[in-house]
Amino acid sequence: MSPRRRDTEATPPREGRRAELLATAAEVFAAQGYAATTIRQVADAAGILGGSLYYHFDSKEAMADEILSTFLGDMWAAYDRVLGAGLGARETLEAIVAESFRCIDRHRPAVVLYQNESKHLATGERFRYLLDSHRRFEEMWTSLLERGVAEGVFRADLDVGLVYRFVRDTVWVAANWYRPGGRLSADDIAKQYLAMVLEGIQRGSG
């Protein structure tokens, strides 16, 4: 399973090749869709031949797996830091949204992949964790929103299930157009999104 067998070679990039290839794969998967992407396209983008990828990975699925689980691990670690900080509902929501945009910044192709393909991939046993993550997500948001309503900081006249979907989709969908290094930083975008989500786009009456 481990790709290394020699110790004294001159070939420079030893460790990190795997991550490099995964980044390439994620980019191509995100650009074309997982099912529509061939292993050869990934290999072309990496400058090697199709078969050579199998030295590094067991299968196409394994690549998607590693891409997604890395992203989700990173994301939940960030979320857990926020959730453990004992903030109020509103501050928590702000922090979660901000972390989400930072995640998009770090894992953009993975996020796109997650959005477009997780429903489809999740049917396999190997991707069970996608469903788990999905459920944790829903619980987190629902309880956060309910807490906010209870604390009086969020409107009580809206359907919580609807708001959950609204906020969830709104944040992640940005991965489809966000490009790191653009005019607006991830934090800029987070700030504006939060303004919209919290206060709306309508000019305040005050």
Partner DNA sequence: AATGAATGAGGCTTCATTCAT
Partner DNA sequence: CATGAATGAAGCCTCATTCAT
For binding to DNA (CB under 7 A), which residues are involved? Answer: 1, 3-4, 10-14, 17, 37-40, 48-52, 54-56, 58-61
Per the CB < 8 A criterion, the answer to whether 52 and 25 are in contact is: no
Residue 195 binds which entry of DNA, its own copies, none, with Cβ cut-offs from 5 to 8 Å by kind? its own copies
- 77 vs 198, beta carbon nearer its own copies: 198
Q: What is the C-alpha separation between 103 and 68, in angstroms, rounded?
A: 12
In this chain, which stretch among 5-13, 33-41, 101-109, 124-132 interacts with its own copies, using CB under 8 A?
33-41
Q: Is 36 in the site for its own copies (CB under 8 A)?
A: yes
- 80 vs 169, beta carbon nearer its own copies: 169
**First CA to last CA across the chain, in angstroms?**
64
Tell me how many residues contact its own copies (CB under 8 A): 44
CA distances in angstroms from 199 to 113, 124, 170, listed in the order given: 30, 41, 15
Q: What is the C-alpha separation between 142 and 37, in angstroms, rounded?
A: 35
Among 39, 102, 166, 185, the residue binding its own copies under the rule CB under 8 A is 166
- 40 vs 136, beta carbon nearer DNA: 40
User: C-alpha 10: how far from its chain's center?
Assistant: 36
Q: Is 35 in the site for its own copies (CB under 8 A)?
A: yes
Q: Which has the closest alpha carbon to 114: 52, 151, 146, 67?
A: 67
